[in-house]
Amino acid sequence: MSVRIELFGIARSRAGVSEFEVDATTLGDALRALVIACPALLGEVIAGERPAQGYLVSLEGERFIDDPARVLPDGATLLLLSGQAGG
């Protein structure tokens, strides 16, 4: 299944791109694939199969998810962003 991951803030800065397309069935699969595609995200932004502390993943911009076993619909869009807003 194809999943698009859009990156914001520090995640985007570290990756050097705004999005990745990965093959994944679950959130854990998607984050593992993202780290393989962009190792610079490991540790500060992604911790194993979960977002690192201070980071959130939104499914379709509608709700936040963090369970690595969460099954994703084909064609899903995940937003990876910092949990802290500034302004």
Domain boundaries, the chain: 2-82
The pLDDT assigned to 85 comes to 55
Cβ-based neighbour number of residue 58 at 10 Å: 16
pLDDT digits (tens, 9 = 90+) for 69-79: 999 999 999 99
- Residues 8-18, mean pLDDT to the nearest whole number: 94
Instruction: Report the distance separating Cα 76 and Cα 1, nearest Å.
Output: 9
Domain 2-82 class?
alpha beta
- Helix (H/G/I), strand (E/B), else coil: 27: helix
pLDDT digits (tens, 9 = 90+) for 31-56: 999 999 999 999 999 998 999 999 99
Q: What DSSP assignment string belongs to 3-16?
A: EEEEE-THHHHHHS
